[in-house]
Amino acid sequence: MPNKKFPIENKNKITRIAKRGHYDKKTIYSILDETLICTLAFVRDGIPFQIPTLFCRIGNTIYIHGSVGAGYMRLFDDEKIPVNISVHLLDALVLARSAFHHSANYRSVIIFSQPKPITNKKKILQILEVLTNRIHPNRWNDVRAISKKELLATKIIAFPIQSASAKIRTGPPIDDEEDYNSKYWAGIIPIETKREKPISDPKLNPKIKIPKYLKK
């Protein structure tokens, strides 16, 4: 990782509580890799749009997939369109002694990029493998191979990370000094997103058992 940080620019600079801002790639990549869904923000015909979608990161590039028939995917054929990408992880609710100081512990990333359609079929398959295994590890080797028809119907867009920043809040509530001796409870309520026990498709052949890799 030759350049360990993204340059601080006007567009990615954290101005509100700047000490929570992070520009190092290690922190930003770790948040991206823990998140399954990103939100793409762009303007089409003067109207702002936001699209939530699954994604994967390979190196310094975000990849998404979608239908060749989707309007926003066709829009991304224009490599000059500016796109803002965001992800967010909620770690805890922060309950303070006053309503004013209630907050949340979170990790978020904002990315600035421009789309680059991927047309090489071999590359598309490699990205689909990474994306599928991000949905669940080892899944790619336990599914039917993608058909030619499905491949033709699938579009992959790359978003090189041109500029980025992360913002992170941790720790207990921060109250006004005079409130610390008040009668009100304060603290945090941790929030966790986790994978639960698999539930088989009702149409699944009863002879097919849940694979071991899904039970981990």
Q: Got the DSSP string for 77-90? A: T-TT--EEEEEEEE
pLDDT, tens digit, for every residue of 1-55?
Answer: 567 999 999 999 999 999 999 999 999 999 999 999 999 999 999 999 999 999 9
Q: For residue 216, is pLDDT > 80? A: no
In the chain, what are the domain boundaries?
18-214
Q: Return the closest-CA partner of residue 180 out of 110, 96, 95, 93.
A: 96
Q: pLDDT at position 2, please?
A: 64
pLDDT in tens, 132-169: 999 999 999 999 999 999 999 999 999 999 999 999 99
The b-or-e profile of 13-37 (16+ CB within 10 A means b, else e) is ebeeeeeebbbebebbbebbeebee
Give me the pLDDT at residue 34, please: 96
- Distance (Å, rounded) from C-alpha 66 to C-alpha 174? 43
Choose which CATH entry (3.10.20.30, 2.30.110.10, 1.10.3660.10, 3.40.710.10) describes domain 18-214.
2.30.110.10
Per-residue confidence band for 215, with pLDDT thresholds at 50, 70 and 90 = confident
Average pLDDT over residues 186-191: 98
For the stretch 91-123, pLDDT in tens is 999 999 999 999 999 999 999 999 999 999 999
Residue 131 clears pLDDT 80, i.e. is over it: yes
Overall average pLDDT of the 190-205 stretch: 95
Distance CA 62, CA 33 (A): 10
